[in-house]
């Protein structure tokens, strides 16, 4: 009869140092799963998720937002505009100098082309032989610019002061016999009539009117 060797407890159970390679991967996996759980559980909810959870869904399944309502947007816009946060806009043209003294410059106004809002062109004689056309903002002479064009004259800005240049009295009264020569009168009218202009701009040239008479 064959005798089997006796088994002891030490032979049946693995030694602790043999279990270490088996326990390390399992412990690492448990720690990783636990860390991931705490990370997701403590993550703050973003505003997008809050809006999606708190706002009702539309019939198409998309979340309904109050900002997407056109009627509500217009109502809010009217309320904001009613506050006049930026002040009330001034209506009409800016205030223009009306009491400007007559200029003492040696200039002569020969013709006007005005649109009625202060813009246009003016024919100004700088000397007996130098006659030029100027628009608003142009420099007429040194330190003097054309500021505004009225129906009866122009406003010049000279070194920060406003001065008025009007038609000569002889031209306004229509007694043009003693004013200038036919060549001068014709050149003033030609400067005005020769330029292209919108249909709503009015030409006022006493020199040209005198020739028509």
Specify if 17 maps to a domain: no
Q: Please tell me the predicted confidence (pLDDT) of residue 173.
A: 41
Specify if 127 maps to a domain: yes
Specify if 3 maps to a domain: no
Specify if 154 maps to a domain: yes
Q: Please tell me the predicted confidence (pLDDT) of residue 178.
A: 37
Sign of CA dihedral 161, 167, 169, 170: positive
131-135 and 202-204 strand pairing: unpaired
Specify if 75 maps to a domain: no
Specify if 23 maps to a domain: no
Q: Please tell me the predicted confidence (pLDDT) of residue 197.
A: 45
First to last CA, the chain: 160
- Number of domains making up the chain: 1
pLDDT tens, the chain, 213 aa long: 556 555 555 555 556 566 666 677 777 777 777 777 766 666 555 554 555 555 555 555 555 554 455 555 676 667 666 666 566 655 555 555 457 889 999 999 988 888 778 888 999 999 888 999 999 999 999 999 999 988 888 999 998 899 999 887 644 444 333 334 333 444 455 555 554 444 444 455 554 454 455
Specify if 163 maps to a domain: yes
Q: Please tell me the predicted confidence (pLDDT) of residue 35.
A: 75
pTM of structure:
0.40
Question: Tokens 């693995």 sit at which residue?
Answer: 14
Specify if 190 maps to a domain: yes
Q: For residue 195, what are the domain limits?
A: 108-212
Q: Please tell me the predicted confidence (pLDDT) of residue 14.
A: 57
Q: Please tell me the predicted confidence (pLDDT) of residue 145.
A: 93
* Contacting residues for 152 by C-beta, under 8 A, at least 6 apart: 166, 167
CATH of the domain at 163: 2.30.30.830
């Amino acid at each position: 009869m064959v005798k089997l060797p006796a088994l002891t407890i030490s032979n049946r159970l693995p030694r602790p140092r043999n279990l270490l390679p088996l326990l390390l991967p399992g412990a690492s996996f448990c720690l990783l799963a636990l860390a991931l759980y705490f990370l997701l559980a403590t993550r703050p909810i973003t505003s997008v998720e809050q809006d999606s959870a708190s706002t009702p869904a539309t019939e198409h399944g998309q979340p309904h937002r109050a900002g997407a309502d056109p009627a509500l947007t217009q109502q809010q816009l009217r309320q904001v505009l009613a506050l006049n946060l930026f002040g009330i806009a001034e209506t009409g043209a800016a205030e223009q100098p009306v009491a400007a003294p007559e200029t003492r410059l040696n200039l002569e106004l020969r013709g006007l082309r005005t649109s009625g809002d202060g813009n246009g062109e003016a024919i100004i004689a700088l000397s007996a032989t130098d006659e030029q056309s100027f628009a608003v903002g142009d420099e007429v002479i040194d330190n003097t610019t054309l500021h505004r064009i009225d129906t009866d004259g122009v406003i010049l800005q000279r070194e920060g002061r406003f001065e008025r240049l009007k038609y000569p009295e002889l031209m306004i009264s229509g007694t043009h016999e003693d004013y200038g020569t036919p060549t001068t009168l014709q050149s003033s009218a030609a400067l005005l009539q020769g330029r292209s202009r919108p249909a709503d701009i009015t030409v006022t040239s006493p020199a040209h009117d005198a020739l028509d008479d």
